Amino acid sequence: MVNTLEALAMVGREEWGKMLHTGWPASPNWMPVYHTPSFLVVHHTVTSNQWQPLAAVQAIWRYHALTQGWGDIRYHYLIGQDGVIYEGRWRGQQPVNIYVEGGQTMTSNTHKVGLTLLGQFEPSAANPPPAEPTPAALEALVKLLGAICFDLELDPLGKALHPLEGKTYPIISGHRDHYRTLCPGRNLYNLLPDIRQQVAAEIQRLQEQEPPEPEPPPIPSPPATSQIALEPREAQVAWGKSVWPNLLWGDDDLYVGAWGDAVYYSLIEFTLPEKIRGGVITGLELSLTGQDDVYLRETEGTFQAVLLEAPLRGGTTTTVPFEQLRQATAIANFLPPLSAGNLKPGTENKLSVDPAGLDKVNLAAAGGVLAIRLEGPSSGRRLFAWDSGYGEGGLLKKPVLTLQYQ
């Protein structure tokens, strides 16, 4: 339940009552009776329009609480000619919809809130001399009625049946609607239809002011995907070794497959930049550009690209012994098989990782190096070769690893 009234500026009891003495601030002689209001009743105080509002409020309290012996002021709210609102009857710390009964509409006060303008607004009465309510006081009255109606969800233009009295009153009414009295004076009473309309407009304004439903937290946007192309580590092409004992090749050539009785494995290692190690790799493509067909023989069968658990090259130029490369632990066969279809000679062949293999890629990447072993058929005359500097027809292009990462 909203509490618009609380936000409305007004002079509290403590403030205007601190100059008083006897019986303050409690109202021991007036036991509180609680109720939920259905009617807002407008009065005038029949005090001089010339009277300074604060002094008038204090005087009314003295008259009600002490002279009459009621123990407290009988109105719930009082409004000065200057538009200042004063808290009236003691209420205590109650929920917004709970009021303490006042004493302003003889003889029944339950379900009613009494609001009064300081002054005398009945033209037929001569003492004190009648006046018109000031625009400031009327504006404050509209604000006050609006806040209470808004908080209690009362219709300012409506009427309701009083549950105990059996009579129907306007929700916003004058004292004379409830009792045989001139209060709140014709000059104020005649304004009530217009005041009700203004209160309705005030409620409309308050509704539009109500804080909108909190927006759902924004769906975090996925981190931006970046891409980087890596060339293999220095001395990029470690390679396999012939099955011939003790025969070792080692330059920047990269062979995969078999040639005669020899079998070739190749190792390509990529050092990952820091920014990738801290993130997540979401895509991987290995680009292999082969030499011309001199080196690609009888491509029946397939080659494989295998992701190794750990890098093998201790330094940048170390040649890895064939047995070490062959026995290295593979954690995934993560690229499509390399066949004649996707490994054409003289062409840049791009091999993309299957998304299912990305977990393994990220696992291996945690070590800062991606080590890929290329392997091929171990017999026959099948060979795929990369050579960065070997004669005519070479594409002179190193393998390239392209990574998407977040």
Footprint on this chain of Zn ion (rule: CB under 5 A): 43, 175, 183
Nearest approach, Cβ of 182 to Zn ion (angstroms)?
9
Structure tokens given for 292: 């011309």
Cβ-based nearer residue to Zn ion, 152 or 188: 188
Closest CA to 178 of 39, 76, 70, 79: 39
Angle at 292 between CA 287 and CA 298, to 5 degrees: 95
Nearest approach, Cβ of 29 to Zn ion (angstroms)?
21
Is-contact 25 90, C-beta < 8 A? yes
Element (H, E) at 208: helix 192-209
Cβ-based nearer residue to Zn ion, 152 or 182: 182
Nearest approach, Cβ of 42 to Zn ion (angstroms)?
8
Q: How many CB atoms lie within 10 A of CB 34?
A: 13
Cβ-based nearer residue to Zn ion, 4 or 120: 120
Percent helix, strand, coil in the chain (nearest 5)?
20, 25, 55
Cβ-based nearer residue to Zn ion, 172 or 371: 172
Nearest approach, Cβ of 116 to Zn ion (angstroms)?
7
Question: Helix (H, G, I), strand (E, B), or coil: what is residue 6?
Answer: helix
Cβ-based nearer residue to Zn ion, 103 or 156: 103
- For CA atoms 99, 105, 111, 114, the dihedral sign is negative
Structure tokens given for 384: 């795929």
Residues 6+ apart with CB under 8 A from 73: 57, 60, 61, 64, 65, 88, 89
Cβ-based nearer residue to Zn ion, 132 or 231: 132
Nearest approach, Cβ of 92 to Zn ion (angstroms)?
24
Beta bridge partners of 330: 308
Nearest approach, Cβ of 18 to Zn ion (angstroms)?
27
Strand order in the sheet with 39-44: 85-87, 77-79, 112-117, 39-44, 172-174
Nearest approach, Cβ of 128 to Zn ion (angstroms)?
15
Cβ-based nearer residue to Zn ion, 41 or 284: 41
Cβ-based nearer residue to Zn ion, 102 or 377: 102
Half-sphere CA count of 192, side-chain side, radius 13 A: 26
CA distance 136 to 121: 15
Nearest approach, Cβ of 124 to Zn ion (angstroms)?
16
Nearest approach, Cβ of 131 to Zn ion (angstroms)?
16
Ordered alpha helix ranges (H), 125-190: 135-152, 175-178, 186-189
Q: Which residue has the tokens 């079998």?
A: 263
Q: How many CB atoms lie within 10 A of CB 75?
A: 25
Cβ-based nearer residue to Zn ion, 176 or 241: 176
